[in-house]
Amino acid sequence: MNYFILILVTIAGIVLGLYLGRKRKIVIMGQIQEKEENKEKILEHIQENQKITNNEIEKLLGVSNATATRYTEELEREDKISQNDINGQGVHYVLK
């Protein structure tokens, strides 16, 4: 009888783990899609306005300064935008 309960609990744990793993994957895929959409919005803004700053990204997307910085760093690594040579408040990004 004890083995039966142990097997039943083990099976329930495996099923629950599979369910939660699948749910987490769906959440992660949604986050990836949102990030790509936000990066596209940044590129569209630059096309329309020739440049963008971190503050403009924060307002445009409703994100933190750190997130805006991550987006610009990713777009720079993807060779889609470049930063002007200025550091500090004068920094802006343009299309490559």
Report how far residue 85's alpha carbon sits from residue 92's, in angstroms, rounded to the nearest whole number.
Answer: 9
More confident residue, 96 or 80: 80
Domain that holds residue 15: 2-95
93 torsion bin: left (phi>0), alpha (psi -120 to 50), beta (else): beta
Q: pLDDT tens digits for 12-47?
A: 888 887 777 777 777 778 889 999 999 999 999 999
**Domain containing residue 77: CATH number:** 1.10.10.10
Domain count, the chain: 1
